[in-house]
Amino acid sequence: MVQAEYRVPYLAHAPLEPVNAVVMLKDGRLDIWVGTQIPRFVVAGAAALTGLDEKDIHLHAQISGGSFGRRLEDDFIRQAVLLAMAHRGLPIKMTWSREEDMTHDFPRPLGMARLRGSVKDGQVHTFDLSVACPSVTASQLGRLGQPATGPDMAIVAGAWDQPLAIAHYRVTGYRAPPSVPVSSWRSVGASGNGFFHECALDELIQAAAADPLAERLRLCNHAPSKRVLQAVGDMAGWRQPLATSADGRRGRGLAFTLSFGVPVAEVVEVTATTQGIRIDQVFVACEVGTVLDPINLEAQVQGGVVWGLGHAINGEITYADGMPQQNNFHQFQGLRLHQTPRIVVQALQTTDTIRGIGEPAVPPAAPALANAIFAATGQRIRELPLIKHVAFV
């Protein structure tokens, strides 16, 4: 029997552009210039604050410098509307400082998972994963005045629906009591569950003394996902030994997540140097159907990988006396330019359905990196951020 426990922390959205809005209330008309992901809720909220009819509220949706889910909230817009109500006839521009944005954020929830599994005859035989975290759905919809009824699928997203024909397979979600108000974060529930599921599966495969790619291919019962796994293996030369390095021992890790209807497989190659872990390169294969804009797809996938790796290494929001202890990028660092690896992307285009790629590249990044670190060092890390356990160069 293999048993293990995994943990992921709260994470801030921390878009490069802090939240901001321009609002003007004049002659019975309210104009709002803002980047938002919830325009209808913004209009309804402004109507409730001002007493105006919604037809007299004009929302001018702007391009924003990042969001990652932060602009699914309207707290900052409501504040700007209140300022405009106090200064009628004048356009009011309100921009939060970085410190205000991060300390008043609604973060990605923390979570934990427990694995109980077994292997038999060199194969994964049982897989029982229990996941617990607060409800994003109830927290977020509650702030928008909407009911949240029934089970919260976000708690098990990216875990319960993985295309694996394991003989005895179960994923259970537990809704933890609310504490910090939380919100959607790039790839939502799959962001943490990708780490839980793929590190747990990797541990079982290792216990079976099986090959991580071969065993996943054997278990996979979804043709597009199997093609994605095969493709990333070919891209990374998985069946060939890694080239040696004078800098230290090398290793590569594999992770796969089906999220938002998009199967994505990633291979991360690392070197364990005397100064710390160096990420050498990443290979990504995905299936979104017909690719309408190849350059944008590659950028979205590479950005998702950088986002996933950076938060896996450094990202954590902690609280003391009810306040976040991190308030800017010096305490909540992303992936540095010198740490950013070569990222090779392939979209297969073998299915008819056209899907999005803005989020699905994120969930496999953290587990692929953790699995690569295990391959290079023998150290199994079950908690994010990884910097708490190993150094990076």
Q: How far is CA 104 from CA 72, 73, 77, 324, in A?
A: 14, 11, 13, 8
Same domain, 195 and 325: yes
Domain boundary among the residues 36, 68, 95 is at 95
Q: How far is CA 245 from CA 236, 272, 275, in A?
A: 17, 10, 14
The torsion defined by the Cα of 232, 236, 240 and 242, in degrees rounded to 10, comes to: -140
Residue type (1 letter), 265? A
Domain that holds residue 26: 20-95
Q: What 3-state class would DSSP assign to 362?
A: coil
Domain boundary among the residues 62, 95, 128 is at 95
How many Å apart are CA 258 and CA 190, to the nearest integer?
9
Same domain, 50 and 113: no
Looking at residue 146, what is its pLDDT? 87
Whether the Cβ atoms of residue 81 and residue 23 lie closer than 8 Å to each other: yes
Looking at residue 359, what is its pLDDT? 97
For residue 102, is it within any domain?
no
Q: Is 243 exposed, middle or buried (0-12, 13-18, 19+ CB in 10 A)?
A: exposed
User: Which contacts (CB < 8 Å, 24+ apart) does range 207-212 have?
Assistant: 207/2, 207/119, 208/119, 208/120, 208/122, 208/123, 208/124, 209/122, 210/119, 210/122, 210/123, 210/124, 212/253, 212/254, 212/371
Looking at residue 108, what is its pLDDT? 98
How many Å apart are CA 381 and CA 367, to the nearest integer?
10
Same domain, 122 and 88: no
* pLDDT block averages, 10 residues each, the chain of length 393: 98 97 98 97 97 98 94 97 98 98 97 98 98 96 86 94 97 96 97 98 98 98 98 98 94 98 98 98 98 97 98 98 96 96 98 95 98 98 98 98
Same domain, 282 and 189: yes
Looking at residue 147, what is its pLDDT? 84
Whether the Cβ atoms of residue 6 and residue 115 lie closer than 8 Å to each other: yes
Looking at residue 151, what is its pLDDT? 84
Same domain, 188 and 327: yes
Q: What is the pTM of this model?
A: 0.97
Looking at residue 106, what is its pLDDT? 97
Domain boundary among the residues 95, 125, 153 is at 95
Q: How many CB atoms lie within 10 A of CB 253?
A: 24
Same domain, 143 and 185: yes
Same domain, 380 and 242: yes
Looking at residue 148, what is its pLDDT? 78
For residue 101, is it within any domain?
no
How many Å apart are CA 372 and CA 375, to the nearest integer?
5
Q: How many CB atoms lie within 10 A of CB 277?
A: 25
In this structure, what CATH number is given to the domain that contains residue 166? 3.30.365.10
Looking at residue 160, what is its pLDDT? 96
Whether the Cβ atoms of residue 101 and residue 74 lie closer than 8 Å to each other: no
For residue 373, is it within any domain?
yes
Count of structural domains, the chain: 2
Same domain, 245 and 187: yes
For residue 330, is it within any domain?
yes
Same domain, 221 and 281: yes
Alpha helices in the chain (DSSP H): 39-50, 75-86, 98-103, 136-143, 189-207, 212-219, 223-236, 294-314, 365-377
For residue 74, is it within any domain?
yes
Same domain, 145 and 287: yes
Looking at residue 334, what is its pLDDT? 95
For residue 272, is it within any domain?
yes
For residue 155, is it within any domain?
yes
Same domain, 282 and 301: yes
How many Å apart are CA 319 and CA 389, to the nearest integer?
20
For residue 393, is it within any domain?
no
Phi, psi of 68, rounded to the nearest 5 degrees: 60, 20
- Nearest residue to 24 via CA among 76, 81, 95: 81
Whether the Cβ atoms of residue 303 and residue 345 lie closer than 8 Å to each other: no
Same domain, 197 and 325: yes
